[in-house]
Structure 1
Amino acid sequence: MAVIKNSRLSLQFEVGIDDDGLPIYRTKSFNNVKLNATDEQLTNTAQALIGLQQHPAMSIERNNVYSLV
């Protein structure tokens, strides 16, 4: 049975354009997210954090680490 050990919220932002015209991305990660936080709660938190940023958000990800033993 898999048991969740750790959870992280990652937000990716487009911070500019390089010399070749391709977007430049930066990721902000928040470690030690409460393991019982629902995806909806994390989405709401992410939306609040995005509102405080100067760059547009490109993605919101939740990364969980599981123990399989």
Structure 2
Amino acid sequence: MAQSLLEGTKLRLVYEAGMDDNGDLILRAKTFSNVKKEATTDQLFQAAKAISVLCNDTLKKVERNDSAEILA
């Protein structure tokens, strides 16, 4: 049976940066690498909220991106 080995975690914050000339929402993202693999969802959300306070744009979405190696 195959197994997966968690190699890394990234935290991605997506912000609303205004509207373009057509009235469409402009989104900007910032990705933080080298996040502790053991971090819980609540811990990552709290970190995202703390970081977003330093930004003028509105936080729209928080993403956790894990990468894993699949072993046979």
For this structure pair, what is the TM-score category when the shorter chain's length is used for normalisation? over 0.9
- Taking only the aligned residue pairs, the percentage that are identical comes to 35
Distance (whole Å) between structure 2 residues aligned to residue 24 and residue 15 of structure 1: 5
Q: Hey, what does 1:43 align to over in structure 2?
A: 45
Determine which structure has more spread, i.e. the larger CA radius of gyration.
2
- What secondary structure is seen at the aligned counterpart in 1 of 2:50? helix
Superposed CA deviations along residues 18-66 of structure 1, whole A, max 9, x for unmatched, are 1100010000000010111111111110110111110001100000001
Amino acid at match of 2:39: A
Paired residues in the alignment total 69
Alignment TM-score, normalising by the size of structure 2: 0.91
Q: Hey, what does 1:56 align to over in structure 2?
A: 58
Q: Which has the higher strand share?
A: 2
Gap regions ≥5 residues in structure 2: none
After the TM superposition, list the runs of 4 or more consecutive aligned residues in structure 1 that deviate by more than 6 angstroms.
Answer: none
Cα RMSD between the aligned structures? Answer: 0.7
